[in-house]
Amino acid sequence: MRAGDIERMVALEGQRHRLLTRVFSTDASRPSAAEIQQVMAIDAEIMRRAESLRGELLEKLDTLASNRKAVAAYSQFQQSGA
């Protein structure tokens, strides 16, 4: 997981929040199609980044679990006196 990715997601969420606040405020007129598309694009990018980070994290957890199993098996091998 890269800190830059998380920072980018936070920045996107801030941008999304500001846009939604402006678009759906009681003072504003109906949002334009472009504004709605912008919110949807930001949502999609946040979801893509989150899924990418989730995949990376799961891969690292799988690697860690495999490494722990290998260490445990090696320890058992050493204890067996082989």
Q: 28 or 67: which carries more pLDDT confidence?
A: 67
- For 39-74, letters b (16+ CB in 10 Å) and e give beebeeebeeeeeeeeeeeeeeeeeeeeeeeeeeee
- The pLDDT, as a whole number, for residue 19 is 80
Helices (H), 1-82: 3-23, 33-79
Q: What is the pTM of this model?
A: 0.56
- DSSP class of residue 29 equals -
Tokens 């969420």 sit on residue: 13
What tokens does 33 get?
A: 């199609």
Total domains in the fold of the chain: 1
Question: Higher confidence at residue 49 or residue 5?
Answer: 49
What confidence tens digit (pLDDT) does each residue in 30-74 have?
777 887 788 888 888 888 888 888 888 899 998 988 888 888 888
Residues of the domain holding 16 = 3-79
Q: Between 82 and 9, name the one with better pLDDT.
A: 9
